[in-house]
């Protein structure tokens, strides 16, 4: 009798004559992690109930009672007054059980024309839309920090690297704006890919084949601020591409943050000495009193792998699933939540770390003078004097080869010595190959010259402002719960 009573408490228990094991209850339950979608679940249910009433599928009185009860549950949940039950399995059944306990028989009518399959598809889409806006907003803050660092360092010359070897002189501003470009693309991935992919409303798809009730799906989409409705019920309940898009956006962002943090780790070494991180974002050694470790940057670099793991886990989960819904899809949420939580934490830390970092621009300028970073400009000088580039390349290569043994830079050689390599050298070469001039003369769009970087700064500022307006509009859409 005890088992029967227990089973009867399951909202799907009519088909079963005995209860699931306690181990299965625990294994099957997702409430431990999907409880964070309580707001999305309740708002979706409010819209569904309102539509059911408008369509005459349930009475207007029951619809109003359901909506009022759901608002009460939402208020209590936001106040931390609700203890979610593992026995009720997931957030959907928890909310429905609570509703029925509070308002009685009317609560049992909420699920009319609906399945947990299309319900969870709705909840996760709403969650992704909201999370995409929040991630994009954090990205705008970080992009603004990068722009500020760049503004302050338009003339700060430093070496640029290829293959981790000094290549050509650039500026710290140009270097920072390379990362701003990455973050700009990341912002677009969250808003133009993840948010957009999640903007089709799936409710009304039922478990697999819709429902015979005359639902007004467009009305639910309107109440929940979706742009359109899904066109195929089978795809709607089994599609998780929008979650993959969100985790992919997280993964690429983490890759970009990891690249930046790798450079910060290198730059903070004594060998480079380009940057000193603030004490607030560094740690010490329990044994060596001299140490100041860039742990914030290292942790971000390390956490990149876990986000890649979230993407790989869900891709692997999805690859063998037949249509339509399978319980495997319960694995989508933990991967999504972990990726978004990790990105949120990392963006917050990196933004503050970079805002408080002190850049040693004198050491950067000194490093730019070393390593023959002006060699390409010396070759270009000979080309402009009439020498074919391939021959000019060979001349400068011989100079660098000899100076590597002798010491010194190209500009340290007297004009007589330079003419031993090519009679085309004149005294004007020294101005041309100064590292500051090397930077200033690269004034093409996208180049490191201060004037060119200023244009990218202006472009970034415009894009940040425009994207902030878009996020505010989209966030206003997803944060508007349907009311009574």
| 70-79 per-position pLDDT tens digit | 999 999 999 9
- Least confident span in 9-18, 122-131, 320-329: 9-18
Distance CA 119, CA 46 (A): 12
Question: SS3 of 276, please?
Answer: strand
**Cα–chain-centroid distance for residue 35?**
22
Confidence of residue 477 (pLDDT cuts 50, 70, 90): low
The token pair that represents 433 in the structure block = 């190959």
Per annotation, catalytic residue among 22, 285, 412, 480: 285
CATH architecture of 2-10+20-112: Orthogonal Bundle (1.10)
Check whether 3 has a pLDDT greater than 70.
no
Q: What does the pLDDT average to over 239-262? A: 98
163 is known as an active-site residue: yes
- DSSP assignment letter at 385: T
Does the N-terminal peptide bond of residue 354 adopt cis geometry, omega within 30 degrees of 0?
A: no
Mark whether 256 is an active-site residue: no
In the predicted model, is pLDDT for residue 2 greater than 50? no
pLDDT attached to residue 17: 67
User: Could you tell me the CA-to-CA distances from 236 to 137, 199, 245 in Å, in that order?
Assistant: 28, 12, 16
The pLDDT value given to residue 439: 98
The per-residue pLDDT for 5 is 45
Any idea which residue has 């079963």 for tokens? 16
Categorize the per-residue pLDDT at 11 as very low, low, confident or very high, splitting at 50, 70 and 90.
low
pLDDT at 159: 98
Q: How many CB atoms lie within 10 A of CB 88?
A: 20
| pLDDT, tens digit, 9 for 90 and up, residues 390-400 | 999 999 999 99
Rounded CA separation 247/270 (Å)? 36
- Specify the CATH class of 375-433 in words: mainly alpha
Residue 9 has pLDDT above 70, yes or no: no
Where exactly are the structural domains of the chain? 2-10+20-112, 117-206+232-363+456-478, 375-433
Q: What is the pLDDT of residues 15-63, one digit of tens each?
A: 676 677 777 777 778 999 999 999 999 999 999 999 999 999 999 999 9
117-206+232-363+456-478 topology per CATH: Fumarase C; Chain A, domain 2 (1.20.200)
**Which candidate in 163, 174, 205, 278 is catalytic?**
163
3-state secondary structure of 132: helix
Whether this prediction's pTM lies above 0.85 is answered by yes
| Burial class of residue 388 in the structure, from the number of CB atoms within 10 Å of its CB (0-12 exposed, 13-18 middle, 19+ buried) | exposed
Spell out a b/e string for 327-364, using b for 16 or more CB atoms within 10 Å of the CB, else e.
eebbbbbbbbbbbbebbeebbebbbbbbbebebbbeeb
Inter-residue contact 459 to 110 (CB < 8 Å): no
* Angle (nearest 5°) at CA 122 between 53 and 210: 65
| Strand duo 228-229 + 200-201: pairing | parallel
For residues 153-175, give the mean pLDDT.
98
Q: Tell me, what's the pLDDT at 231? A: 98
pLDDT tens digit string along 398-409?
Answer: 999 999 999 999
pLDDT confidence of 201, banded at 50, 70, 90?
Answer: very high
């Amino acid at each position: 009798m005890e088992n029967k009573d227990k089973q009867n408490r399951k909202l799907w228990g009519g088909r079963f004559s005995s209860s699931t094991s306690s181990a299965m209850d625990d294994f099957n339950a997702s409430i431990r992690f999907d409880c964070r979608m309580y707001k999305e679940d309740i708002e979706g249910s409010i819209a569904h109930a309102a539509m059911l009433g408008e369509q005459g599928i349930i009475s207007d009185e029951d619809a109003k009672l359901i909506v009022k009860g759901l608002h009460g549950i939402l208020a209590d949940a936001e106040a931390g007054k609700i203890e979610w039950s593992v026995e009720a399995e997931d957030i959907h059944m928890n909310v429905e059980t609570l509703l029925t306990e509070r308002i009685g028989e009317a609560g049992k009518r909420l699920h009319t024309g609906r399945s947990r399959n299309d319900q969870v598809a709705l909840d996760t889409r709403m969650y992704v839309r909201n999370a995409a806006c929040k991630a994009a907003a954090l990205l705008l803050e970080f992009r603004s920090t990068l722009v500020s660092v760049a503004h302050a360092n338009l003339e700060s010359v430093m070496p640029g690297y290829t293959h981790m070897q000094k290549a050509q002189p650039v500026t710290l501003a140009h270097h920072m704006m390379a990362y701003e470009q990455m973050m700009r693309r990341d912002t677009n991935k969250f808003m133009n890919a993840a948010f957009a992919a999640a903007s089709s409303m799936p409710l009304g798809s039922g478990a697999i084949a819709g429902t015979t009730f005359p639902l007004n799906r467009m009305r639910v989409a309107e109440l929940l601020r979706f742009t359109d409705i899904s066109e195929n019920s089978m795809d709607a309940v089994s599609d998780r591409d929008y979650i993959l898009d969100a985790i992919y956006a997280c993964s690429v962002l983490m890759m970009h943050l990891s690249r930046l943090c790798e450079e910060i780790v290198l730059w903070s070494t004594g060998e480079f000495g380009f940057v000193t991180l603030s004490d607030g974002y560094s740690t010490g050694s329990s044994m060596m009193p001299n140490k100041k470790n860039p742990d914030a940057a290292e942790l971000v670099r390390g956490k990149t792998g876990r986000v890649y793991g979230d993407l790989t886990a869900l891709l692997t989960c999805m690859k063998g699933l037949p249509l339509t819904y399978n319980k495997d899809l319960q694995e989508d949420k933990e991967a999504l939540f972990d990726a978004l939580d990790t990105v949120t934490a990392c963006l917050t830390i990196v933004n503050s770390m970079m805002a408080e970092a002190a850049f040693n621009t004198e050491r950067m300028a000194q490093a730019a003078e070393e390593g023959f970073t002006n060699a390409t400009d010396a070759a270009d000088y000979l080309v402009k004097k009439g020498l074919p580039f391939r021959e000019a390349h060979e001349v400068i290569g011989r100079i660098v080869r000899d100076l590597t043994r002798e010491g010194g830079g190209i500009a340290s050689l007297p004009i007589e010595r330079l003419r031993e390599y090519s009679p085309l050298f004149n005294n004007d070469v020294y101005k041309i190959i100064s590292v500051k001039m090397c930077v200033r003369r690269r004034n093409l769009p996208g180049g490191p010259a201060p004037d060119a970087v200023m244009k990218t700064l202006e472009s970034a500022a415009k894009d940040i402002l425009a994207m902030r307006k878009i996020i505010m509009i989209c966030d206003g859409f997803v944060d508007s719960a349907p009311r009574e």
